[in-house]
Structures are given as C-alpha cells and as structure tokens.
A and B are shown apart, each in its own frame.
Chain A
Amino acid sequence: MITYELLQQYWWLLVSLLGALVVFLMFVQGANTQIFTLGRTEEERALIVNSTGRKWEFTFTTLVTFGGAFFASFPLFYSTSFGGAYWVWMLILFSFVLQAVSYEFQSKLGNLLGKNTYRWFLVLNGVLGPVLLGTAVGTFFHGANFVVNKDVMTDQIAPAISQWTTGWHGLEAVTNPWNVVLGLVVFFLSRVLGDLYMLNNIVDATLSPRIRRQVLTDSVAFLVLFLSFAGHLLTMDGWAVDANTGMVSMEAYKYLHNFLALPAVLVLFLVGVVLVLVGIARTVFSSTYVRGIWFAGIGAVLAVWSLLLIAGLNNTAYYPSLADAQSSLTLANSCSSEFTLTAMSVVSLAIPFVLAYIAYAWYSIDRKSLTKEELQENDHTY
C-alpha cells in the first residue's frame, strides 16, 4: 500500500541520492583546485582542465536537478533555506556561474580576462562549491536560524512565511565548527575523488605519479576530518519528531539511534566507507593501479547517501531550527501534496533510462584515456 508517508520517504531517498551523486561528481571541483599545484607546465594544466572539462556538465546538471527535485518534493525547504540562507546559496551559485563559462572561454582568443583568470575561477569554484555545500549540509544536523509561520499569509501585507533570524543569512553557519568540519570533509573528499579520477582518466609519465602521491596527502586529511565528524555525529543529540503530534524535541544519540533503527542504512554507510578506503588503499599501495575511482566513487555515493538518509528518516527533523524548534522542517511538514508526490513518483520511474544513456555516452567518449597527443589532435580542447 503506497501511503503519503511512504511517498515522503521515497522522495527523501531520491533527493538524498541526488545529493550524494552531487558530492561524488564534485571530483571535478576537487581536481580543479589542483590545476596550479599538480599541473606545473602548461601542458599538464591543460590535461587536468580538459579531463574535468569532459565531466563538469554532469556535476552542474546533477546540482540543478537536485535543486529542482528538492523544490518539487519539499518546497518548504526550498523557500526556507534558499530564501533565508541567502548568502550561502548565492556564493555557491556564483562560483558555479563562473565555472560554467571558464572551460569554454579560457583558451579562446579575445576572452577579456586571460587564461589564468578563468582557471582561477575554476579553482575558486573548486574550493567554494564543496566547502559551502558541506557546511550547508552541516546545518541539517546542527540546525539553522529561522522561523516558519504560515499564518502570516492571512495578513494583507503578506510577510514571508519563512524568516531568517540573523542578518548574516546563512553565513553564521560557520560559527558552529562542526559545520565547517563537514565542509572540509566534503572538500577533501572531492580532492581525493578528483585525484583518483585523474589517475584513471589521464595517462602522462610525469603528471600521473605526482597525482598518485597527492592521493595519500589528501586522503590523510580527509580521513582525520571524516572520522572526527563521524564520531561527533554518532554521539551528538538530534532533533526528533513525534510522529503523532509533529512536536520536535531533542533526543540524545539521535543519529546513532537512526542507524540502529535502520540497519539497511547502516550497511550502506559501512559498505560505503569500506569501498572508499579500498579505493584509496589500492591506489596508494600500487604504482600502476588506476581503478580506485570506481571503488571510492561508489563508496562516496553510498556513504553520503546514508548520512543524508539518517538526517531525515526515522522521525527526524532534517532541517532543525535553532530559533524555534517547532519551526523545524520534517519530511511530513515540508513536503508536497500526496497528488504531486505520486505524479512525480510515476515520472521518476524513467530515471533508470536516463542513467542508462548517460552511462553509455560516458563509456563512448572515455574508452581511451586522455593524453597530451589527443589534446593536440582534438578540435574541441579547452
């Protein structure tokens, strides 16, 4: 029996999966932060840019789709977080705007700002994208400063239903160090994935060994940060929702409880973490192994997916309010109507078809690794 509650959970599963895919696909951003550090000659930098340049649109499109799906399924989040944490989202978007033109424009004559400026835009997006998205997701666990009052729409002046309670409009999230830690976790994860992707995608006698060494450095930073965040998450209090009354209250070890209550999600998490570790270890302990991205990429998707799932499932407020706990957003109070969720669920049945043609297209252009020779032959290089 498909109930309204089940539809809400289904859509949380989908939106979380899209969020996890965005985090994985930010290997593009992670690699781009290293254009000037890993790439020491113009040729090497061109290799990095052209390697990520064939994938950036998937990251961008997945981010846009994540936004659209969140809007369609949980519109109160869209209005509350985007309208309130204005500056966080605007900075993320600005960095993606700059990224979108930087590939195409950087090597073209007459580009106004010069090649290096556009490459620095890619670096900027590479840093801001993961750090800010990670910090924003941190507020899913640590709360944000807003109140929601739908009754205001009964007033003729119709003030906004969702009001942010600080003038910093989202930037205040950095005052909770754990939000920043999560931002850095995502940042270093994107770098690890970026390194592993480049190792797989580029064949170059001098660049490839350098990338391999970088995997170790980035992985150490990632693992230290990730393990401390995981430890913090499993011991922290969380915002629980009473399924009958909708009342929100604090519960000790809430996220640990969520993992224990949802063993399948716990398995996802553990398998994800192990796969990431396997991907890293096999790459670090070999001088020829280039398939680490497959393990670490799939592992990252599973682990991030599980973390987003425990943020919202098992009667948890996924966007807690620090200003007024009862304003916190839950799956039930922020979702679309049953009709819309049903209609969109029917539409979602076609997603495997979309994934299939993406996989086929990706396979078609990636059969051969990228080399300096190909850059000289190909008509469309950045």
Chain B
Amino acid sequence: MTFLQATDPAVLDWSRAQFALTACYHWLFVPLTLGLALVMAIMETIYYRTGDEFWKTTTQFWQKLFGINFAIGVATGIILEFEFGTNWSNYSWFVGDIFGAPLAIEGVFAFFMESTFIALMFFGWGKISKGFHLASTWLTGFGATLSAWWILVANSWMQHPTGMNFNPDTVRNEMMDFFAVAFQSFAVNKFLHTVSSAWLLGSTFVVAVSCWYLLRNRNIKMATQSIKVASLVGFISAIITAGTGDASGVDIANHQPMKLAVAEGLKDGECGACFTVVPGVKVPYALSLIAFKDPNCFVPGENDILYKGYTNHKGEEVIPATQKMEHGKKALAAFKEYREHRKTNPEKAAVARKTFEENKAYFGYGYIEKVEDLVPNRGLMFWSFRIMVGTGFALILVMALLWWFGRKGKLQHMRWLLHVGLWSLLLTYAAQQAGWIVAEVGRQPWAIQDLLPVSAAVSSLSVHNVQITFALFFIVFTALLIAELRIMFKAINKHEQE
C-alpha cells in the first residue's frame, strides 16, 4: 500500500513560518536566561566572599526577574524539540540517527542539571548552606549553558554536516564519528559566539534596568553597583562575541559560500572583495580579509556559485550549482534503481550503487527544482547581517563608556548615557534576532546544508492543520509575552531596596 503524495508548497511555507515563529519567541527568553545567570552568579559570589547583605538582596532581585523569564523560556522551548517530529518528520528519519543524539544528551545532562539546581536556587535560601546555594546558582547557569552547547552542536551540524554517511539501505544518514559531530570547529565557534552574545544581552538587561532606576533617582546604590558588574561582563562578552563572530564568518566562507554572498549582496565574485558597510559605502579588500584572512583572495558571488563555478581559496575547482543538480538527479535515479533491484537483482543493484556513490556528494541537489531556489532571501539577509554586526560593535562602545564612568562615579549625572544604556537593550534584542535570521534564513533552501532541502524534510499534513497550530502558537506566545513584560515591569517598578 503506497501513498505517494507531493508536499503542498503551502504546508512547507506554514511549517517554516511556525518554526521561525516559535524559534524567534524562544530566543527572546533564552539569551536572557544565559546572560542573567552569569551576572547573578557573579553577584552571589561577591555576597559569599564579602558577607555583605546588600549583595544578597541585589542577587535575589535579579534572581526574581530571572525566574519570570526562565518560565517562559522553558514553555517556548519544549515545542521546538518536538516540532522536529511533528512538522519535519522526514528530517527526523533522514538525519535522526545523528541529530537525535545531541538532543537526548541535552535532556539527560543539561536540563536535569538546570531544573534540579534552579529549585535549590529558588527554594534553598536558608535551607541549605551559603556555599551550596552559591554552587546551585552557578550550576543552574552551567546547566543552561550546557544545554546551549548541545543544541548548538545540533544546529551547527545542520550548517555543516560532518561525521556521517548516507546508507541507501536504511534511507538515512548514519553517524560514523561522534566526536566529529559533537566537537567540530563550527560548533565551537557557534557556541562561543551565541553564548557570549547571550551574556552580553544579560548584561545589557541589568544595565538597562539599572539606568532606568538612575534616571528616576531610585535604588541608586543597587543600580550603580549592578552597572559596575554588568557593564564589565558586557564589555568582555561583546569583545568575545565580535572575535567569535569573525571566526564564524570564516566557517561560513568555507562551508556556506551562498550565505556569505547573499549577506554581502555579492552578485559576482571578486578578488580583493570589498565589504559593504551600507549600500554605497564600501571598504576595499575587507571582505576577502574577513572571509579568508587574505586581502586578495577570491570571494565567490551568487553567479559563480550558481552558474559559473570558481576556484576557491584553497585552489580547488568548485563546480556550479547547475552541475551539482545534474549530479544530484543522477544520484537520485541511481538510488531509485538500487532500491528497486537490491533484493531481486544484485548485479543491477551493484551498478546502480556504484553510480550512486559517484554522485552521492550532490545527492541533496537532486531534490532542488530550480537553481534560483538556492538563493536565500536577499534583503532580509543583507540587512539582518548589518543590524547584527553594527549593533554588536556599538555595544562594545556603550559597555566601555558605562563601565568607565561607572567606576568614576559619574554615571548618575550623565543622563544621555543612562538613556543610551536603557535603549541599548532593544538594540541587543534586535541583534540577537538578526543573528539567528542570518544563520537560519541564510541556510535556505536547505534544512541541512547541501544534504536535505526543507521541501524534502517537511511532514505530510494538510495545510489547515499547520495554519491552526501556527495561529495557536502566535496567540498563546504573544499573550504570554505581554503577560511576561507586564510582570517584569511591575516587579522592576515595585522594587525598593534602600
């Protein structure tokens, strides 16, 4: 009994929209969890070392805001894990052998650590020793960070699949090297970049709330002391974010040239390529330098990748996508023949298998209908990239100024800087969302780079099912976001420490 049913393109669009919606909502809360965890753990450490009750009260205040945010982060997170199954069922089988492992490890090690120690952190004051409580606070943050590690390992594998082999008998990719999956440099850079940016966001949050108090002459001691801690953490984090962003750029240039070309609006490749700051403002040689650490290196553009082919920086010939698609179609046809004959005609199957193996590298391209489909949304990519990078650099300066004047004790009288500190929070959120848009939209049309396009990954559902769940998520998450913001604002407004 066979049901052969083409995927309705609308199902694909709605499934993508739903994943994007839930992921964007989730990423509003997660970086604050990661960032605030670090800042409050540092503050509690100061309390532990000095015994000063002021730091205990301060830690508890930030912990309260952490709790409000944590709940909604957890609520939006559970959906993402299960959506791989509910909305991307082919994906779950096609790469589940590799992709499931980091998710399971995340659950066993990170989530349990997080949920165990967060309970001790919230309910343990006075019940457990000061040292054990401090350890619990650090371990809550460590658990959250460990969770980020494993999910970013999974995401990095989608950007740069490695350590696996396609098995035509089981019709899936199978893991061959656990360490190549779990510790590839793509994952290391992505983890450091993402987590340091989350620390930056947590710091900016503390800075923004504190600036708001200072602008209203309230909670002055708590606000100034909090800024001293958070702006330093934020400054260091912003530097790490910039450095690891640069390393991630090299990864992208090496493994996802189309993402780079579209983010830069590069139609035709150039040697000594310019970096476009904004349209019309270009820095000569900068793109080549960023991408390959060589100002004269060739950076391929869209047309090179799609139609012309090119020689990459290592001197290797890269065939154009049009040819990759031809190989992909051959691989797919041979795969079909192999499946038809593998049990009945071993000789024919062996020939088909050989052809398949020869073309296997481009197997995923067999599912691509038109070569133009290989180009992600240009405008969204170009501007998201600029928002991310521009804001990132601006925040280095903002954090440095806040730290410097905070140390000098002058902040209270510099209302312009307090306003900047306050509004920088919105900018940081914009940069966070833009960063993920660059990462995820930039990979399109692939669910897994060069291996499986989203059109071949989606579940078989009729479109109204996904439309209804999309609407439900939209309504529920938006209502919960509004509730969360109102609770946060009330909690901040009500707080009187001195």
Interface positions of A (Cβ within 8 A of B)? 54, 57-58, 60-61, 63-69, 71-73, 75-76, 78-84, 86-87, 89-90, 93-94, 96-101, 103-105, 108-113, 147, 149-165, 167, 169, 323-324, 327, 336-337, 339-340, 343-344, 347-348, 350-351, 354, 357-358, 361-362, 364-365, 367-368, 378-380
Asked if residues A78 and B85 are in contact (CB atoms below 8 Å), the reply is: yes
Whether B103 is near chain A, meaning CB under 8 Å from some CB there, is yes
Picked from B96, B171, B465, B491, the residue with its CB within 8 Å of the CB of A109 is: B491
State A340–B486 Cα separation when bound (angstroms).
46
Which stretch (B123-131, B249-257, B308-316, B387-395) binds chain A? B123-131
State A82–B461 Cα separation when bound (angstroms).
11
Asked if residues B90 and A337 are in contact (CB atoms below 8 Å), the reply is: no
Task: Kindly count the residue-residue contacts between A and B in the assembled complex, taking CB atoms under 8 Å apart.
Answer: 312
Asked if residues B122 and A380 are in contact (CB atoms below 8 Å), the reply is: yes
A165 to chain B, nearest CB (A): 7
A118 to chain B, nearest CB (A): 9
State A100–B456 Cα separation when bound (angstroms).
33
A373 to chain B, nearest CB (A): 13
Where chain A touches its partner, the secondary structure class is helix
- Supply 9 further A-B pairs (C-beta < 8 A) apart from A79-B459, A163-B3, A169-B465: A64-B81, A67-B107, A68-B107, A75-B92, A78-B89, A79-B90, A84-B460, A336-B97, A358-B112
Asked if residues B97 and A75 are in contact (CB atoms below 8 Å), the reply is: yes
A91 to chain B, nearest CB (A): 10
Whether B366 is near chain A, meaning CB under 8 Å from some CB there, is yes
Across the interface, which residues of B come within 8 angstroms of A67, CB to CB?
A: 81-82, 85, 103, 107
Known A157-B7, A337-B170; contact A354-B112, beta-carbon cutoff 8 A = yes
Q: Count how many chain B residues have C-beta atoms less than 8 Å from C-beta atoms of the other chain.
A: 101
Asked if residues B460 and A337 are in contact (CB atoms below 8 Å), the reply is: no
Asked if residues B490 and A65 are in contact (CB atoms below 8 Å), the reply is: no
Asked if residues A108 and B100 are in contact (CB atoms below 8 Å), the reply is: no
Known A57-B115, A111-B486; contact A380-B123, beta-carbon cutoff 8 A = yes
Whether B214 is near chain A, meaning CB under 8 Å from some CB there, is no
| Interface residue ranges of B277-324 to A (CB < 8 Å) | none
What are 6 inter-chain pairs, A to B, with CB distance below 8 A? Answer: A64-B78, A71-B99, A72-B103, A339-B174, A358-B112, A365-B119
Across the interface, which residues of A come within 8 angstroms of B335, CB to CB?
A: 153-154
B205 to chain A, nearest CB (A): 17
Which stretch (B233-241, B413-421, B434-442, B477-485) binds chain A? B477-485
Whether B489 is near chain A, meaning CB under 8 Å from some CB there, is yes
Across the interface, which residues of B come within 8 angstroms of A110, CB to CB?
A: 483, 486-487, 489-490
Picked from A60, A93, A364, the residue with its CB within 8 Å of the CB of B74 is: A60
A284 to chain B, nearest CB (A): 31
State A212–B222 Cα separation when bound (angstroms).
48
Asked if residues B98 and A152 are in contact (CB atoms below 8 Å), the reply is: no
Known A152-B4, A153-B456; contact A167-B89, beta-carbon cutoff 8 A = no
